[in-house]
């Protein structure tokens, strides 16, 4: 049962065409060492319609040899192994007395040819011994054939040489060193007569050693590439982890920056509110001061009276109250009118310029409140009318507003 499982594994992995998924029929081996049925390759070439086509398995570009698909080497190893496995399966599954003759398909096999790997009935066995090309073959009974097939299966090596596809009566027992493939005796005097060749059995030792060296190098290369693949996989995972952490760090830093900006936003708005409130208080105080002195009312009343006297009074009336008008208006006219500067309402936000250097003060990361500072009627540190950035001084501005005019009582006298 274990041998049947081994045979099934070999058949599935090695003895089926990757195109048709059937046992190989006329297996041809490509330069990339992949094997396909001759018919399957011919269909691929016809579909491509070019002198080259991609290998159906590895996609390597393959040039058509002279003669087309037929010019590719036959995979004799696959042919031999397929025949051996087929015979072995037949023996294991049916038993010695139930195997049909491979030649006539009528009688039951009683013997088998070791060279041809065919089951023979009694009559076909006698004919096999009489036929010119097979009379030297070793024909054994079924039990011995089964034993030899099992031995052969364990080594996967066939002791028989395949027949030359060009000269069917000759075995491929020579090796052409120039063409790098086995040839038969007729080939040595026909197609390869001027080539250097030798006995296949003599050359196989060096060839096996050469293949073993290349196999060792190939296995080392496989290990190296597997290590690289593992490194790539590990680096990819590491990259993803580092990228994820970097993204999290970006989010954290951004949140901290936003919090910091929000704090600065609150500070700037508080500063703006302070400036606005202080100036509003000053304006309110100035308005209250003007109203409490009755300046406007006193002047308006005096102006109204004086205008009516001038416009409608007689000469006597004008002369009679002239001194009274003078006494009332002169003190009022000598008083200074409060001077409310335009700058008291000038307040704005100056955003930070994008081209500022990174060494800019941290508190200026957003920008600052811009307003005009005043001291004794002038801008502090600047010519009058210029702008300066700073904190508004309430006391100096309050003194500036009230400077230079004297409140009067209702009679026109100073308090």
Please enumerate in sequence order all residues whose Cβ is within 8 A of that of 215, keeping only pairs 6 or more positions apart, or say none: none
Kind of pairing, strands 111-113 and 35-37? unpaired
Q: Tell me the CATH number at 25.
A: 3.30.40.10
Is pLDDT above 80 for 338?
no
Share of the chain above pLDDT 70, in %: 75
Q: What is the mean pLDDT of residues 283-306?
A: 78
Q: What is the mean pLDDT of residues 100-105?
A: 82
237 in a domain, yes or no? no
290 in a domain, yes or no? yes
Angle formed at CA 108 by CA 102 and CA 109, multiple of 5 degrees: 60
214 in a domain, yes or no? no
Q: Domain limits at 312?
A: 258-402
23 in a domain, yes or no? yes
Mean pLDDT of the chain: 78
Is pLDDT above 60 for 353?
yes
pLDDT number for residue 398: 39
Is pLDDT above 60 for 78?
yes
* pTM across the whole model: 0.48
pLDDT number for residue 105: 75
Task: Among 74, 100, 123, give the residue marking a domain's end.
Answer: 74
> pLDDT tens-digit profile of 179-214?
888 999 999 998 898 899 999 888 888 888 999 999
Reported confidence tier of residue 13, pLDDT bands at 50, 70, 90: low
How many structural domains does the chain have?
Answer: 2
- H helices of 293-388, in order, are 295-312, 315-334
Is pLDDT above 50 for 10?
yes
Task: Among 74, 91, 121, give the residue marking a domain's end.
Answer: 74
Calpha distance 415→399 (Å, rounded):
19
Helix (H, G, I), strand (E, B) or coil at 94: helix
86 in a domain, yes or no? no
Is pLDDT above 60 for 375?
no
E strands within 158-212?
174-176, 181-183, 197-199
Q: How many Cβ atoms sit within 10 Å of the Cβ of residue 401?
A: 20
45 in a domain, yes or no? yes
Task: Among 74, 99, 119, give the residue marking a domain's end.
Answer: 74
Helix (H, G, I), strand (E, B) or coil at 368: strand
Is pLDDT above 90 for 160?
no
């Amino acid at each position: 049962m274990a041998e049947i499982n081994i045979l099934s594994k070999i058949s599935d992995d090695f003895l089926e065409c990757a195109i048709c998924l059937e046992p190989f029929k006329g297996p041809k081996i490509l330069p990339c060492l992949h094997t396909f049925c001759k018919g399957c390759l011919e269909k691929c070439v016809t579909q491509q319609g070019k002198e080259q086509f991609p290998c159906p398995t590895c996609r390597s570009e393959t040039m058509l040899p002279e003669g087309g698909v037929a010019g590719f080497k036959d995979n004799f190893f696959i042919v031999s192994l397929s025949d051996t496995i087929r015979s072995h399966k037949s023996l294991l599954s049916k038993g010695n007395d139930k195997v049909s003759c491979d030649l006539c398909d009528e009688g039951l096999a009683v013997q088998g040819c070791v060279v041809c790997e065919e089951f023979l009935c009694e009559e076909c066995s006698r004919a096999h011994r009489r036929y010119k090309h097979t009379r030297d073959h070793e024909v054994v009974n079924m039990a011995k054939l089964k034993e030899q097939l099992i031995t052969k299966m364990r080594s996967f090596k066939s002791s028989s040489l395949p027949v030359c596809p060009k000269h069917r009566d000759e075995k491929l027992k020579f090796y052409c060193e120039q063409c790098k493939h086995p040839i038969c005796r007729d080939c040595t005097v026909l197609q390869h007569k001027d080539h250097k060749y030798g006995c296949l059995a003599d050359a196989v030792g060096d060839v096996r050693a050469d293949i073993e060296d290349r196999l060792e190098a190939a296995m080392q290369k496989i290990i190296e590439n597997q290590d690289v693949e593992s490194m790539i996989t590990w680096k990819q995972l590491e990259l993803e982890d580092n990228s994820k952490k970097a993204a999290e760090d970006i989010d954290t830093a951004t949140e901290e920056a936003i919090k910091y900006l929000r704090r600065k936003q609150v500070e700037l708005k508080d500063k703006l509110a302070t400036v606005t409130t202080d100036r509003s208080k000053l304006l309110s105080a100035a308005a209250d001061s003007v109203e409490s002195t009755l300046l406007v009312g006193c002047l308006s009343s005096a102006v109204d009276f004086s205008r009516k006297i001038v416009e409608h009074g007689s000469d006597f009336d004008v002369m009679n109250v002239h001194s009274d008008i003078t006494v009332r208006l002169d003190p009022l006219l000598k008083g200074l009118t409060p001077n409310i500067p335009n700058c008291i309402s000038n307040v704005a936000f100056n955003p930070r310029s994008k081209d500022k250097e990174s060494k800019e003060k941290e508190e200026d990361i957003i920008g600052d409140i811009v307003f005009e500072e005043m001291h004794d009627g002038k801008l502090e540190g600047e010519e009058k009318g210029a702008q300066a950035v700073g904190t508004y001084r309430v006391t100096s501005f309050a003194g500036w507003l009230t400077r230079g005019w004297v409140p009067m009582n209702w009679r026109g006298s100073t308090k």
